[in-house]
Copies of this chain bind each other. A is one copy, B any other.
Amino acid sequence: MSLGSGERCLPLGSVGADRWRSVLGVATDLDDTLTHHGELTAAVLGALEEVRSLGLPCVVATGRSLGWGAVLARVLPVRAVVTENGGAYVLREDRGLRVAFMEPDDVRDEGMRRVGRCVEEIVDRLPALRVVHDPAARVTDVALDIGERTTVDPAVVREALAMVSDAGLHGITSSIHMHVSYRRADKVGGLRAALGALGLDASALDERWVYVGDSPNDAGAFGAMALSFGVAGVRRFGGRMPSWPAYVTVGDGPEGFAEVVAALRAGRSE
């Protein structure tokens, strides 16, 4: 498979020990990065525990809903989960969770009304697209299934993205969902807000945080963060990503994530 503009991606071995030693935290996508066929593995939990044992905070940044974030922030060894591509985040606190949004209620309410109308038109015209129904709250976007329970023709996804854009709204795809929102997808903005709320230095994100991801909704982070890693599956998005990760792993999904953590640990002990 052609890597397209990603051909410049470098192997992990080219990250110097100094660089690894400078790392202040690890941010990561969830689906097809921490999971394989949607499932967490013992190996990836081991890698997350390893990050914590290195004394580094870990934050997940996902297109999944706020409801998912509330569960994952509780059960995974992470400090926060940024959800809905940066629209909201959930922080682990001493004995519970704190939920925060990027915009005030009235902006969200009006935005979601416009999103609702646009999504209605999309599923009317393109019946291959279905809204993802999830008993966990989604508050800043609507997700359409393009690869989780079904497989949707990329041409249909492109047409839907054009409709979103024509409506003055924002569309973005992950490996499984197409998200329609009143706000531009911005995992990095969400990460900065979450880091600030955790009392961490958000300005360190660009140079001193690791980011691991696999798909177009990670492109913003790939472009903004110098230590950005694509797991091997990122190659399938050749030509459809505005920014590529600086480095690419050999393994895909959780194996790729574990590779990054192993290189981080090894680099810091050199």
Q: Any chain B CB within 8 A of the CB of A263? A: no
| Minimum CB distance partner of A83 in chain B | B135
Q: Are A39's CB and B76's CB within 8 A?
A: yes
Q: Any chain B CB within 8 A of the CB of A148? A: yes
| Minimum CB distance partner of A68 in chain B | B71
Q: Are A39's CB and B136's CB within 8 A?
A: no
Q: Any chain B CB within 8 A of the CB of A168? A: no
Q: Are B149's CB and A67's CB within 8 A?
A: no
- A selection of 10 A-B contacts at a CB cut-off of 8 Å is A38-B74, A38-B75, A40-B40, A40-B76, A41-B45, A65-B135, A67-B67, A71-B71, A71-B136, A95-B149
Q: Which of chain B's residues have a CB closer than 8 A to the CB of A96?
A: 148-149
Q: Are B148's CB and A95's CB within 8 A?
A: yes
Query: Other than the known A35-B75, A40-B75, what 13 A-B pairs have Cβ atoms closer than 8 Å?
Result: A41-B45, A41-B49, A42-B43, A42-B46, A42-B49, A67-B135, A69-B135, A70-B135, A71-B71, A71-B136, A99-B135, A136-B136, A136-B137
The distance in angstroms between the C-alpha atoms of A45 and B75, with both chains bound, is 12
Q: Which of B41, B77, B95, B136 interacts with A70 by CB under 8 Å?
A: B136
The distance in angstroms between the C-alpha atoms of A71 and B75, with both chains bound, is 11
Q: Are A95's CB and B150's CB within 8 A?
A: yes
Q: Any chain B CB within 8 A of the CB of A72? A: yes
The DSSP consensus for interface residues of chain A is mixed
| Minimum CB distance partner of A37 in chain B | B95
The distance in angstroms between the C-alpha atoms of A98 and B204, with both chains bound, is 42
Q: Any chain B CB within 8 A of the CB of A121? A: no
Q: Which of chain B's residues have a CB closer than 8 A to the CB of A110?
A: none
Q: Are B75's CB and A39's CB within 8 A?
A: yes
Q: Any chain B CB within 8 A of the CB of A134? A: yes
Q: Which of chain B's residues have a CB closer than 8 A to the CB of A95?
A: 148-150
Q: Which of A130-150 contact B (CB under 8 A)?
A: 134-137, 139, 148-150
Most buried by B among A40, A72, A149: A40
| Minimum CB distance partner of A132 in chain B | B96
| Minimum CB distance partner of A137 in chain B | B135
Q: Which of chain B's residues have a CB closer than 8 A to the CB of A43?
A: 42
Q: Which of A176-215 contact B (CB under 8 A)?
A: none
Q: Which of chain B's residues have a CB closer than 8 A to the CB of A139?
A: 135
| Minimum CB distance partner of A150 in chain B | B95
The distance in angstroms between the C-alpha atoms of A11 and B48, with both chains bound, is 33
Chain B proximity mask over A142-165: 1 for CB below 8 Å, otherwise 0: 000000111000000000000000
| Minimum CB distance partner of A72 in chain B | B71
Give chain B nearest CB distance to A159 CB in angstroms. 23
